C-alpha cells in the first residue's frame, strides 16, 4: 500500500506547531491531504466535494501575512460539513434540490475560521438536510465506516468523522441536533463535541431562537477538539443567541488538570434500550473516573417526557424552515424529511405548549441534577455501527422504535436541556468496532466537559487509534 505523508499521523496541534516554526507551510499540508484523499477516500466517500484551487489561494494569502497575524490556525486546513455555506464552493445540503447550488457568501462560521487562518479545502458528506443519523444522500451516495466499510458511519456529520478517522482531515466541522456530532464520533473512533447553544455563531433563519441545533468541532483527540472550538467560538451579531469567547480558552480548560469529584453513569437514562455489549463497555470506561479520584455512581436526571418534547420541537423547526421547500420541491425530498415537515405542519398550539412546558421542566431537573454531580456518562450511541444499507435503527433489544430518530434518545436528551456533551473513544466491540462514551455537564459548562474528557482519555488509552486505512467488511 502506498505510504502517506508523515504529517497525516500528527495531531492538529502538532501540525500547527510545525506551521508556526516554519518547518512546513500550509501548502505542504494541502499536498499531504490531497495525496491522502486520493489514496483512501474512494473507499469511504467522506469528502465528495474538494476545493484545492481555492484552498491554495487562501493558503498563500495566509503565508503572505506576518506570523503574528496568521490567526490561531496558522494556515491549517479544515473540512466543512456540506450543510454549511462556503463562498464559491458547491454546497448541496445533501439534497437533489440543491445539487448544483454554489453560495455567493460564506456562513459566519466559515468567515470566523478563515479569519483565524483556517484554510477550507473540502466539504464533508451528510444526509439530506442532516436528517437521519446515517450519512447517505441521493447526490453523493453513502459514506462508509472505515473500521468496516459494510457499516454505517452514523450521522449527520458522518463525512467529517470518517475524514478524521482515515487521515483526510486534522480538524473537521460538524453540527448536532439529535447527536450528529456525537453519533458519528462514536461509530468512527474519534472525538465529537456538542458545545452549548450559541457557543459557535452561525447563519440564522427562522426560527431565530432555535437552540436545538448547534455547530461544533470534531477531531482525533480531546485537546485538538478544544483547540478547534477556540477557533470556532465567539459572538456575532448575525446570530442573536451567540455567546462571547470565555476568559479561559477551551484548550486551556482541557489542559487545566481539573478532575471531577462526583460522576454519574447511566446506561440508558431511563428512556431507551441499549445493546448489552455497548452498555458494558461504556460502564467500565465511566467507572475508570475513579482512577482520577472521583466517586462514580449509577444515577441520571428524570427525563420523563423527553421523547414527546423533542419530537414536537424538532418537527416544528422543520416545518418553519422547510415548508416552502416541501411545497416547491416535494418530489426531490427523501421520505424522512417529508415526514418531519408534515408532522410539524400538523402541530397544534396545544402540542407546542405541552412540549415547551415539558422542556422547561426537564431543564430544571437537569440543572438540579448537576448540583450533585460534576459530570454524567452514558453510551454515545445505543448500538454498534449497523449495516450501511439500513436507513436507521428500527429496534434494539426487541423494542421497536416509534420513528427514525427515536434510537437517538440518549443523545437528544442532552440536546433538549442544553447541556454540552462530548463523545470520546472508550473501547471496541468483539467485532472490533468502536464504541464512544458520552460525557455531559451542566448547561454552559463546556470547559468542564473538555477537562473531564481529557483526563479520562489519558486513563483509557485510546487517544492514538486513528488515522486508519479503510477496512472492508
- State yes or no: is 124 an active-site residue: no
Identify the active-site residue in 156, 175, 213, 266: 156
β-strand partners of 81: 124
Tell me whether residue 22 is in a domain. Answer: yes
CATH code for position 423 = 3.90.1300.10
> For the whole prediction, is pTM greater than 0.75?
yes
Q: What are the DSSP calls for 417-445, one per residue?
A: TT--EEEEEEEE-TTS-EEEEEEE-STT-
Tell me whether residue 469 is in a domain. Answer: no
**What distance in Å separates the CA atoms of residue 382 and residue 407, rounded to the nearest whole number?**
7
Identify the active-site residue in 180, 196, 213, 423: 180
Tell me whether residue 145 is in a domain. Answer: yes
Identify the active-site residue in 81, 123, 334, 343: 81
Q: Is the dihedral of CA 40, 43, 46, 49 positive or negative?
A: positive
Tell me whether residue 466 is in a domain. Answer: no
- Give the three-state DSSP class for 337: helix
How many domains does one find in the chain? Answer: 1
Q: What pLDDT does 206 receive?
A: 81
Tell me the per-residue pLDDT of 143-197, one tens digit each, with 9 for 90 and over.
Answer: 999 999 999 999 999 999 999 999 999 999 999 999 999 999 999 999 999 999 9
Tell me the per-residue pLDDT of 12-48, one tens digit each, with 9 for 90 and over.
Answer: 999 999 999 999 999 999 999 999 999 999 999 999 9
Tell me whether residue 242 is in a domain. Answer: yes
- State yes or no: is 180 an active-site residue: yes
Tell me the per-residue pLDDT of 408-467, one tens digit each, with 9 for 90 and over.
Answer: 999 999 999 999 999 999 999 999 999 999 999 999 999 999 999 999 999 999 988 999
- State yes or no: is 81 an active-site residue: yes
Name the one residue in this structure whose C-alpha cell is 458547491: 90
State the residue range of the domain holding 246: 6-460
Confidence of residue 3 (pLDDT cuts 50, 70, 90): low
Amino acid at each position: 500500500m502506498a505510504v502517506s505523508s508523515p504529517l497525516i499521523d500528527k495531531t492538529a496541534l502538532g501540525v500547527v506547531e510545525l506551521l508556526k516554526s516554519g518547518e512546513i507551510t500550509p501548502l505542504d499540508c494541502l499536498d499531504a491531504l490531497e495525496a491522502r484523499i486520493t489514496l483512501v477516500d474512494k473507499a469511504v466517500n467522506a469528502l465528495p466535494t474538494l476545493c484545492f484551487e481555492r484552498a491554495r489561494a487562501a493558503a498563500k494569502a495566509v503565508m503572505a501575512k506576518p506570523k503574528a497575524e496568521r490567526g490561531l490556525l496558522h494556515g491549517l486546513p479544515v473540512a466543512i460539513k456540506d450543510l454549511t455555506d462556503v463562498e464559491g464552493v458547491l454546497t448541496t445540503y445533501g439534497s437533489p434540490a440543491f445539487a448544483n447550488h454554489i453560495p455567493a457568501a460564506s456562513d459566519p462560521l466559515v468567515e470566523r475560521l478563515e479569519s483565524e487562518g483556517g484554510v477550507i479545502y473540502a466539504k464533508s458528506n451528510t444526509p439530506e438536510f442532516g436528517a437521519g443519523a446515517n450519512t447517505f444522500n441521493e447526490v453523493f451516495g453513502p459514506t462508509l465506516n472505515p473500521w468496516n466499510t459494510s457499516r454505517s458511519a452514523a450521522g449527520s456529520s458522518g463525512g467529517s468523522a470518517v475524514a478524521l478517522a482515515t487521515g483526510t482531515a486534522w480538524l473537521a466541522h460538524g453540527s448536532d441536533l439529535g447527536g450528529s456530532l456525537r453519533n458519528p464520533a462514536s461509530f468512527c473512533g474519534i472525538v465529537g463535541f456538542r458545545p452549548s447553544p450559541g457557543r459557535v455563531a452561525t447563519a440564522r433563519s427562522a426560527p431565530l431562537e432555535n437552540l436545538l441545533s448547534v455547530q461544533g468541532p470534531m477531531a482525533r483527540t480531546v485537546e485538538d477538539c478544544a483547540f478547534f472550538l477556540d477557533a470556532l467560538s465567539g459572538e456575532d451579531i448575525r446570530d442573536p443567541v451567540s455567546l462571547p469567547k470565555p476568559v479561559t480558552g477551551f484548550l486551556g480548560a482541557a489542559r487545566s488538570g481539573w478532575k471531577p469529584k462526583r460522576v454519574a453513569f447511566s446506561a440508558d437514562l431511563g428512556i431507551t434500550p441499549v445493546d448489552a455489549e455497548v452498555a458494558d463497555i461504556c460502564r467500565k470506561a465511566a467507572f475508570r473516573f475513579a482512577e482520577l479520584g472521583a466517586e462514580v455512581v449509577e444515577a441520571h436526571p428524570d427525563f420523563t417526557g423527553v421523547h414527546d418534547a423533542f419530537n414536537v420541537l424538532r418537527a416544528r423547526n422543520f416545518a418553519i424552515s422547510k415548508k416552502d421547500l416541501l411545497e416547491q420541491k416535494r418530489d426531490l425530498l427523501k421520505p424522512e424529511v417529508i415526514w418531519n415537515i408534515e408532522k410539524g405542519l400538523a402541530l397544534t398550539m396545544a402540542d407546542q405548549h405541552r412540549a415547551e412546558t415539558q422542556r422547561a421542566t426537564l431543564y430544571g431537573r437537569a440543572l438540579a441534577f448537576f448540583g450533585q454531580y460534576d459530570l454524567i456518562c452514558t453510551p454515545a450511541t445505543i448500538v454498534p455501527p449497523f449495516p450501511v444499507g439500513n436507513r436507521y435503527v428500527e429496534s434494539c433489544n426487541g423494542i421497536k422504535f416509534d420513528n427514525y430518530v427515536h434510537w437517538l434518545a440518549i443523545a437528544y436528551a442532552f440536546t433538549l436541556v442544553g447541556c454540552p456533551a462530548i463523545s470520546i473513544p472508550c473501547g471496541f466491540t468483539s467485532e472490533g468496532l468502536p464504541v464512544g462514551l458520552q460525557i455531559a455537564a451542566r448547561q454552559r459548562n463546556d470547559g468542564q466537559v473538555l477537562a473531564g474528557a481529557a483526563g479520562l482519555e489519558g486513563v483509557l488509552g485510546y487517544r492514538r487509534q486513528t488515522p486508519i486505512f479503510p477496512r472492508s467488511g
